Structure 1
Amino acid sequence: MITVEELSKRYGAHQSVDRVSFQAQPGSVTGFLGPNGAGKSTTMRMMTGLTPPSAGRSTILGVPYAELPNPGRHVGVLLDASAQHNGRTGREILRLGATVMGLRRQRVDEMLQIVGLSGDEGDRRVGNYSLGMRQRLGIAHALLGDPQVLILDEPANGLDPAGIHWMRGLLKSFADRGGTVLLSSHLLHEIEVIADHLVVIGRGVIVADGSKAELLNAAGTLVRALDPDALARCLDVSGYTYQTSPDGAYVVDATREQIATATAQHGVVVTELRGADGAGLEDMFLQLTAEDAREKVTA
């Protein structure tokens, strides 16, 4: 289990992370989502003792990370797949990790097999690895000590579609065996397939925290009509709040029955009416990204 309580980090006048609190439970995959620069990596670095927090605390399996005996045997961490020695082979890197953790050497071959780097690829120098191969090696190192918790920052970067499918299956299996997975990404759809719980961060603060079902159910109803302007007037007259989705549909804070009744009363021909699914979350992401982009332009 991972518990984060009021965790904050300030760099001079810049508040990078502001009183972040959430939990990641055993037996589930928690997606840690937000635009680039939202504070995901800083939060994860504080959780794993690499960056000292300005305030707040975090615990993993009930204690701060730094107090875990032989932490690699309890927590598998992948924060930067590129932070590996280019002159060593993948096998050598895993052997060093196994030696530090006090593991049998056969574990190295097992992990190379699991992540698809067996044979010639495991004996290749990391400087000749693609980003996807580095990600696989990083995941192998995170799993090396047979931990109870995984903390992974953008692990799908560089993976092809087959690699992403493989990673999802691997992490889902880990959680099904009772493990705790915290998985960060700036891509909603990458996480939506696998995550049981979602924590969304934007500009250093938590903007949404709940089960995937809760957040998707809160997304509202998507409706599309032959005459979008007539639909907008209908929604305005009916008093429903709504947003325009990126593809031109309307995401409405109302049930399908309420919208069907209102459009029928106003003679609006509806061509699509369904639960918004991830549309509300996607809109939230677009708004957060737009705010970050505006800040960078005006900075």
Structure 2
Amino acid sequence: MITIDHLTKRYGAQVAVSDVSFSCQPGTVTGFLGPNGAGKSTTLRSLVGLATPTSGTATIAGRRYADLPNAGRQVGVLLDAGAQHAGRTGREVLSLSAMVLGVGPERVDEVLGRVGLAGRPAGKRLGNYSLGMRQRLGLATALLGDPQVLVLDEPANGLDPEGIFWMRGLLRGFADRGGTVLLSSHLLHEIEAVADQLVVISGGRIVAQGSKDELLAGKGTLVRGPDRALLDRALQAAGIAVSPGPEDALLADADALAVGQAVAAAGVVLTELRPAGGEGLEGLFRSLTGHAGAGQQVEEVLA
């Protein structure tokens, strides 16, 4: 189990994450989403001991990563697939990690086969690997110690469609066997396809979290009209709370009948009136963070 409890991280005067709290349960994949500089990478780095929280805690099975005995046997981590010596072969990289973790050479062969790098690819130097091959090797390294928890930052980056489908099955199978997966990705479609739980961060703070089904179901009524400001005033005058919706829409906190009656009474023209939801993860992301996904992708940098 992963537990982030009131985590705050400052770099001088800059607050990267502020009072962040969420948990990831065994048997689930949690999708961790946010726009550029939202604080995702800082949170993950704090969780695996690469950054020290200013306050709050980030624990795995109730302990800090640094306090876990032989942490690599309990937690598989992939934060940067390029962070390997380009002159070593894939097998050499895994063999060195296996010695550190105390696992046998047969496990190296097992994970190489599992990620599709057995045979000739295992003998190639990393300098000759494609980005997708590096990602597969990174996943192999994360899986090497047979951990119960996976912490992954952009694991599908560089994978082709077939590779993304393969990775989805790998993560789903890991969780279905009782593992815990925390997955950060800019590929919103893939998060939507594999995640059970969603955590959305924006500006260093959590703006939404819960089950995927619950968050994507939506609440209230989505409305559009030729005069957005007039529509907003009519709804608020009727006592209906209004918030910005996707693109030029408004999200009214009432059912469609109440919204329609209020608008009709005010004589305001509508071009769309329907229950909120049904726009998928990209629509949810856009409404929560104010960022549009280009081709269902949102870039991420270290916060």
TM-score, structure 2 as length reference? 0.83
CA RMSD of aligned residues (A): 2.6
Matches of 1:219 and 1:35, distance apart in 2: 23
Offset, 1:134? 0.8
Contact 1:231 1:268 in 2 (8 A): no
Contact 2:255 2:275 in 1 (8 A): no
1:111 aligns to 2:121 (yes or no): no
What is the match of residue 61 of structure 2? 61
What is the match of residue 45 of structure 1? 45
Q: How has the CA–CA distance of structure 1 residues 6 and 231 changed in structure 2, closer, same or farther, with 3 Å as cutoff?
A: closer
Offset, 1:276? 2.1
In the alignment, structure 1 segments of 5+ residues that lack a partner are 290-299
Q: How has the CA–CA distance of structure 1 residues 9 and 232 changed in structure 2, closer, same or farther, with 3 Å as cutoff?
A: closer
Equivalent residue pairs, number: 285
String of CA shifts for 1:109-155, please: whole Å, max 9, x gaps.
Answer: 22112111122112111111111111111011111111100000111
In the alignment, structure 2 segments of 5+ residues that lack a partner are 294-303
Offset, 1:287? 4.6
Contact 2:207 2:288 in 1 (8 A): no
| DSSP 3-state at the match of 1:20 | strand
Contact 2:76 2:143 in 1 (8 A): yes
| DSSP 3-state at the match of 1:23 | strand
2:290 to 272, 286, 290: 286
Matches of 2:268 and 2:9, distance apart in 1: 54
Aligned-residue sequence identity (percent) comes to 58
Q: Which amino acid aligns with 2:274?
A: L
Matches of 1:206 and 1:122, distance apart in 2: 41
Offset, 1:234? 5.7
Q: Which amino acid aligns with 2:226?
A: D
Matches of 1:219 and 1:156, distance apart in 2: 31
Matches of 1:100 and 1:204, distance apart in 2: 35
Offset, 1:269? 7.3
Q: Which amino acid aligns with 2:253?
A: D
Contact 2:222 2:245 in 1 (8 A): no
Q: Which amino acid aligns with 1:243?
A: P
| DSSP 3-state at the match of 1:181 | strand
Q: How has the CA–CA distance of structure 1 residues 120 and 37 changed in structure 2, closer, same or farther, with 3 Å as cutoff?
A: same
TM-score, structure 1 as length reference? 0.84
Q: How has the CA–CA distance of structure 1 residues 54 and 119 changed in structure 2, closer, same or farther, with 3 Å as cutoff?
A: same
